[in-house]
Structure 1
Amino acid sequence: MTQKIRTRIAPSPTGFLHLGTARTALYSWAYARHHGGEFVLRIEDTDVARSTQDAVEQILASMKWLGLDCDEGPIYQMQRLDRYTAVVAQMLEAGTAYHCYCTPEELEATREAQRARGEKTLYDRRWRPEPGKALPPVPQGVPPVVRFCNPVEGDVTWDDLVKGEITINNREIDDLIIVRPDGVPTYNFAVVVDDWDMRISHVFRGDEHINNTPWQINMFRALGAPLPVFGHLPVILGDDGQKLSKRRGAVSVTAYEENGYLPEAMLNYLARLGWSHGDDELFTREQMVGWFDGSHLSKSPAQWDAVKLAWVNGQYIKAKADDQLAPLVAAQLHKRGIASDDRLAAICGLFKDRCETTVALADWATAFYADVAPSEADRAQHVTDAIRPALATLADKLSATAWEKASIASAIKEVLTMHSIKMPALAMPVRVLVMGTPQTPSLDSVLAIFSKEKVIERLKA
């Protein structure tokens, strides 16, 4: 490749950054990084009525959390209106665009007539200038739109990076509106000018945009601009088999951060939703960059699997250093009004093999910093009258024990011998009283992280 690889992600701030856009961002970023190219972040905010600053901030926060750093941006379309206006003026002068004064009522009447005849609903080009054609008189008080002079014959063909060769006949599309009556450009026009100006070489996007691509290719050609390579990614389906979207079933990227997922796990899982490298399930960001050359992209929709994501996240939590997990769990505890301390790394090390999220880790850690409330069922089953004498003996033994794992284990064994009982008979009620649950890692390891005073207090309570 002689051209420098430049990719982009261009989310619309009409809602949160959802998983499909995050996957597109990941592929665009990884492709640029693989080829030593550049990655651009553009905010497509021309839908003024629906765009919000909160959505912009959420998009930027999501990109930062995922670690998808950009080389340029964020670039905002609404700050480029002068550029779009200049390009439209050139197109009007060149005859590749024209003013249209049709009212919404006239357009709907045309569509109704076409539907009645069983025809595809297309603009009838009544305002398109042509040699020898008499245009209607310009109506008073009707602000015009600007339409693109789309070719009326021939095919548009491109070699899609994902789908292979795609051909759409120009008779299937009409003269697209490229500027609204208020002077704001439409998506299909602004994206062409942006990709041209920003020298975008490769465009990854969802395959819902395939029908837009012929218009955009024709506009690139009308402007004499180089065509990018397009790669249309299949949709991500939800548990119900329907497409995930902002309006239906999708969850924001930041919601996964809040729910205790790790960004490296999310990137790993997203990467596998439409791309593979052999049978590799778990890989680092650096490995993905090394492998992601644009091949092995799936043509079929991917199925979102929350259980699989949780498994992947659990693998990353198990592999993460305890002192790196601790601040993430501390943040979860902080949301609950709980302050942690320097024991938290050891707590993470003890419980992380049982957890798939940092929220689950925080659930375990809470017992070390806040009061526990065992269920009545657990109390009734495990803290019986028969075991109370052994619990009292253990409390006394521990009071006189050096507070480290080996000494605690020795004290527990002495109590078992004194009362002629087996470990489960004692360990279960101790866990219930100290941790609030009968299932924990090894009892001596758990108790050693607690303060001696807290353990004895809970046993005697």
Structure 2
Amino acid sequence: MTTTRFAPSPTGYIHVGNLRTALMNFLIAKKAGGTFILRIDDTDQERSKQEYVDGIQEDLEWLGITWDKIEFQSKRLDRYEAAADRLREMGRFYECFETPTELDLKRKKQLNMGKPPVYDRAMFSKTAEEKDALRAERGQGHWRFLLDQQRIEWTDGILGDLSIDAASVSDPVLIRGDGQMLYTLASVVDDTEMGVTHVVRGSDHVTNTATQIQIIEALGGTVPTFAHHSLLTGPQGEALSKRLGTLSLRDLREAGVEPMALLSLMARLGSSDPVELRSNIDELADGFDLGHFGTAPTKFDADDLYPLTGRVLHDLPLDAVAEDIAAAGVPADQSAQFWEVVRENITTRKDLATWWDLFANGADPVIDDEDKEFVAEAMALLPEGPFDGETWGVWTKAVKEATGRKGRGLFMPLRKALTGQSHGPDMSAVLPLLQVIKAKG
């Protein structure tokens, strides 16, 4: 069975970069009728917070990304310790005591000599007595996995055939000096024991994947199918990392972005398939193909979400927006009429309140100097309310006969005088909803 996972760290809220990874893994499992695991990477107890655990789940639920089961890495530390013990018994795990400063000096020296900055395994050949002395002097060391220095090859689901020379990579640190299990080991143990068959993540993890393949094989596991998607950039190709604080899912939600607008864009962004608005997740999954994604950095522009959001809203029935309309202050007996008038003229649900304020309280009229006399004459001809769907036609016909104006020269000044806007819904539908007409006063 196809099994995928999304493994966020609860050290912050999900942003669009995280979402891309989550969505791809979710859609693969959904399309195959498989299992999607939400795995909370909370081994860093100092930085992990419950509010972020809750926030991750809330954001995914808002989008309709549901998980078949949830796991917490903080509850699986014994499994990681057991794996570490097995690696020690194999001679594939060794303790190191260099300080960050010492390691940095080693890297600089190697670079100056024209060599790759790879850890020199100085601690691997230390005797037990020498390590005891270092431990007494410096405290507990960090633990590195001993790589087989050969080529690591796999067929990536997006990048194609990949090959990395393990001799060009430092033996990865799997346990820090303070005892914290790092993601590289925890992820391998979890993927193996949870039967994960497919792993999709960012292209910045390619080297991690190479080392993890060796760890999986050392522990007797089955290597999943790996795929590495391109990283997102800003609309001009700039690094997105500097803007992620404003691109969290909760910020986009607060701005009024609709879930299916966001999902429809992210499910196609960076692929050869055009972005198409879908009405539900099943449609997204049916049309999802990982092989259609490219390797080039992918531009993301949050502004692209708003036309899609508008299209989502335009197709919604009244009952889907009834609560929002009521919250905007629209009386229940006018909600249906109000929705029909404004539905194709809103970008987000927040626009509902703006439109009702215009209808209920009147808009500041916009009257060009050359139209002042014309508007004054037209307003004197406006019938007394209440208005209905015929009022606009009757009124503009009378104004045309009295002033000789027609076409745009007739209709545009009246629209701007009544609504303060040059564009909007059909005025024959707007006029019956206007409670206050400031231009008349």
> If the length of structure 2 is used for normalisation, what is the TM-score?
0.88
Question: Aligned partners of 2:6, 2:361: CA distance in 1, in Å?
Answer: 44
Q: Deviations over 1:210-261 (max 9, x none)?
A: 0111111111111111111101001122122133236667611222222222
Question: Aligned partners of 1:327, 1:387: CA distance in 2, in Å?
Answer: 37
Question: Aligned partners of 1:103, 1:411: CA distance in 2, in Å?
Answer: 84
Q: Report the counterpart of residue 195 of structure 1 in structure 2.
A: 191
1:260-299 matches, cutoff 5 A: 260-277=256-273, 281-284=276-279, 285-299=281-295
Paired residues of 2:235 and 2:299 also in contact (CA < 8 A): yes
Q: Number of paired residues?
A: 438
| Cα offset, 1:201, TM superposition | 0.8
| Cα offset, 1:268, TM superposition | 0.9
Question: Aligned partners of 1:64, 1:348: CA distance in 2, in Å?
Answer: 27
Q: Deviations over 1:78-123 (max 9, x none)?
A: 2322332232233223322122223334333333432332322222
Q: Report the counterpart of residue 388 of structure 1 in structure 2.
A: 376
Q: RMSD across aligned C-alpha pairs, in angstroms? A: 2.9
2:102 alignment partner, SS class: helix
Question: Aligned partners of 1:21, 1:268: CA distance in 2, in Å?
Answer: 16
57, 62, 67: which one pairs with 2:54? Answer: 57
| Cα offset, 1:269, TM superposition | 0.8
1:334-353 matches, cutoff 5 A: 338-342=328-332, 343-353=334-344
User: Percent identity over the alignment?
Assistant: 32
| Cα offset, 1:204, TM superposition | 0.5
Q: Report the counterpart of residue 384 of structure 2 in structure 1.
A: 398
**Structure 2: tracts of 5 or more residues without a match:** none
- The one-letter code sitting in structure 1 at the alignment partner of 2:430 is V
Check if 1:46 corresponds to 2:43.
yes
Cα gap change, 1:386 to 1:243, in 2 (>3 Å)? closer
Question: Aligned partners of 1:209, 1:79: CA distance in 2, in Å?
Answer: 25
Paired residues of 2:145 and 2:173 also in contact (CA < 8 A): no
Q: Report the counterpart of residue 15 of structure 1 in structure 2.
A: 12
1:428-447 matches, cutoff 5 A: 428=412, 430-447=414-431
Check if 1:354 corresponds to 2:345.
yes
87, 91, 101: which one pairs with 1:91? Answer: 87
| Cα offset, 1:381, TM superposition | 3.6
Paired residues of 1:99 and 1:145 also in contact (CA < 8 A): yes
169, 172, 195: which one pairs with 2:168? Answer: 172
Question: Aligned partners of 1:234, 1:345: CA distance in 2, in Å?
Answer: 45
| Segment drifting more, 80-89 vs 224-233 | 80-89
403, 418, 433: which one pairs with 1:449? Answer: 433
| Cα offset, 1:30, TM superposition | 0.9
1:126-275 matches, cutoff 5 A: 126-129=122-125, 135-139=130-134, 140-245=136-241, 251-275=247-271
- The one-letter code sitting in structure 1 at the alignment partner of 2:357 is T
2:384 alignment partner, SS class: helix
Cα gap change, 1:428 to 1:106, in 2 (>3 Å)? closer
1:168 alignment partner, SS class: strand
| Cα offset, 1:272, TM superposition | 1.3
1:41 alignment partner, SS class: strand
Question: Aligned partners of 2:15, 2:172: CA distance in 1, in Å?
Answer: 28
Question: Aligned partners of 1:302, 1:386: CA distance in 2, in Å?
Answer: 53
Question: Aligned partners of 1:325, 1:89: CA distance in 2, in Å?
Answer: 57
Q: Report the counterpart of residue 69 of structure 1 in structure 2.
A: 66
| Segment drifting more, 378-387 vs 54-63 | 378-387
Question: Aligned partners of 1:315, 1:437: CA distance in 2, in Å?
Answer: 21
1:441 alignment partner, SS class: coil
Cα gap change, 1:146 to 1:88, in 2 (>3 Å)? farther
Paired residues of 2:364 and 2:439 also in contact (CA < 8 A): no
Q: Deviations over 1:390-433 (max 9, x none)?
A: 31331xx233x5x4212553355345445655475665455345
Cα gap change, 1:408 to 1:311, in 2 (>3 Å)? closer
1:245 alignment partner, SS class: helix
Check if 1:37 corresponds to 2:37.
no
1:138 alignment partner, SS class: helix
| Segment drifting more, 384-393 vs 188-197 | 384-393
1:32 alignment partner, SS class: helix
Question: Aligned partners of 1:191, 1:235: CA distance in 2, in Å?
Answer: 21
Paired residues of 1:45 and 1:76 also in contact (CA < 8 A): yes
| Cα offset, 1:315, TM superposition | 2.9
Question: Aligned partners of 1:86, 1:146: CA distance in 2, in Å?
Answer: 17
| Segment drifting more, 261-270 vs 57-66 | 57-66
Cα gap change, 1:341 to 1:25, in 2 (>3 Å)? farther
| Segment drifting more, 309-318 vs 118-127 | 309-318
1:298-337 matches, cutoff 5 A: 298-328=294-324
Q: Deviations over 1:325-368 (max 9, x none)?
A: 454566xxx5xxx5333334533432333343334454334312
Question: Aligned partners of 1:320, 1:382: CA distance in 2, in Å?
Answer: 41
- The one-letter code sitting in structure 1 at the alignment partner of 2:56 is I
Cα gap change, 1:322 to 1:423, in 2 (>3 Å)? farther
| Cα offset, 1:159, TM superposition | 1.0
Paired residues of 2:203 and 2:228 also in contact (CA < 8 A): yes
Cα gap change, 1:426 to 1:53, in 2 (>3 Å)? farther
1:255 alignment partner, SS class: helix
Q: Report the counterpart of residue 79 of structure 1 in structure 2.
A: 75
| Cα offset, 1:264, TM superposition | 0.8
2:143 alignment partner, SS class: strand
Question: Aligned partners of 1:214, 1:411: CA distance in 2, in Å?
Answer: 75
2:48 alignment partner, SS class: coil
Paired residues of 2:5 and 2:196 also in contact (CA < 8 A): yes
